[in-house]
Chains A and B, each alone.
Chain A
Amino acid sequence: MASGITILDPTNESKPATRQLLARPASIKGLTIGLLDISKPRGNLFLNRIEELLTERGAKVLRYSKPTFTKPAPVDLRQEIATQCNLVIEALAD
Chain B
Amino acid sequence: MTSVAPVLPDGFVVIVKRECATCQMVEPVLKDIAGHKTPLTIYTQDDPTFPESVSAIHDSDLAVSWHNNIDTVPTLIKVVNGKEVDRTFGWLASDWQRITEIPELGHDLPAMRPGCGSMSVDPDIVDKLRAKFTDSPVIARTVEFSDAEDEFEAMYARGWTDGFPVIPPTRERVLRMLTGTTRHPQDVVAIAPPDLVELTVEKIAINAVMAGCLPEYMPWVIAALEAVCNDQFNMHGVLATTMPVGPVIICNGPGTRAIGMNSGINAFGQGNRANNTIGRAVQLTIRNVGGGRPGEVDRATHGNPGKISFCFAEDEVGSPFTSLATERGIPLGQNAVTVFAGEGPRCVVDQLARTPEELTNSLVACLQTVHHPKLVIGFDAILTISPDHGRVYAEAGWSREKLIAELTERSMTPGADLVRGAREMAEGVPPHLRDATLPKFRPGGILLTYAGGGAGLFSSIVAGWANGAIGSDPVTRVVGS
Contacts and interface: CB of A to CB of B under 8 A. Distances in A.
B236 A8 contact: no
Contact of B147 (A4, A11, A12, A14): A4
B195 A12 contact: yes
Contact of A10 (B195, B207, B236, B470): B207
Chain B at the A interface: SS class: mixed
Given A2-B151, A13-B140, A70-B237, A7 B145 contact: yes
Contacts of A4: 144-147
A72 interface: yes
Contacts of A9: 140-143, 206
Contacts of A7: 142-143, 145, 151, 155, 168-171
A2 to B, nearest CB: 6
Interface string A37-72: 000000000000000000000000000000111111
Nearest to A8: B140
Nearest to B469: A68
A9 B240 CA distance: 25
Contacts of A6: 142-145, 170-171
B106 interface: no
A13 B85 CA distance: 47
Given A5-B151, A12-B289, A14-B195, A68 B207 contact: no
Given A70-B471, A71-B237, A72-B236, A8 B192 contact: no
A42 B387 CA distance: 46
B471 A68 contact: yes
B170 A12 contact: no
A23 interface: no
A2 B197 CA distance: 32
A1 interface: yes
B231 A11 contact: no
Nearest to A3: B147
A70 B210 contact: no
A12 B284 CA distance: 12
B150 A10 contact: no
Interface string B115-150: 000000000000000000000001011111111111
Contacts of B241: 70
A67 B289 CA distance: 27
B236 to A, nearest CB: 6
A13 B144 contact: no
Contact of B192 (A5, A12, A71): A12
A12 B471 contact: no
B140 A70 contact: no
A7 B236 CA distance: 28
Contacts of B202: 8
B169 to A, nearest CB: 5
B289 A11 contact: yes
A69 B236 CA distance: 11
B145 A10 contact: no
B236 A1 contact: no
B141 A13 contact: yes
B445 to A, nearest CB: 17
Given A13-B140, A70-B466, A71-B231, A8 B169 contact: yes
A71 B151 contact: no
Contacts of B471: 68, 70
B288 interface: yes
B440 interface: no
A78 to B, nearest CB: 13
Nearest to B194: A72
B146 A10 contact: no
Interface string B456-481: 00000000001001111000000000
- Of listed A4, A8, A14, A67, residue having the most chain B CB within 10 A: A8
Contacts of B231: 71
Nearest to A94: B242
A69 B240 CA distance: 10
- Of listed A1, A5, A7, A72, residue having the most chain B CB within 10 A: A7
Given A11-B288, A71-B236, 13 more contacts: A5-B145, A7-B170, A8-B169, A10-B206, A10-B210, A10-B288, A12-B203, A14-B195, A14-B197, A70-B234, A70-B472, A71-B237, A72-B236
11 contacts: A2-B151, A3-B147, A6-B143, A8-B169, A10-B169, A10-B289, A12-B192, A12-B291, A68-B469, A70-B236, A71-B231
Interface of A: 1-14, 67-72
The 3 A-B pairs of least Cβ separation, nearest first, read A70-B237, A8-B140, A3-B147
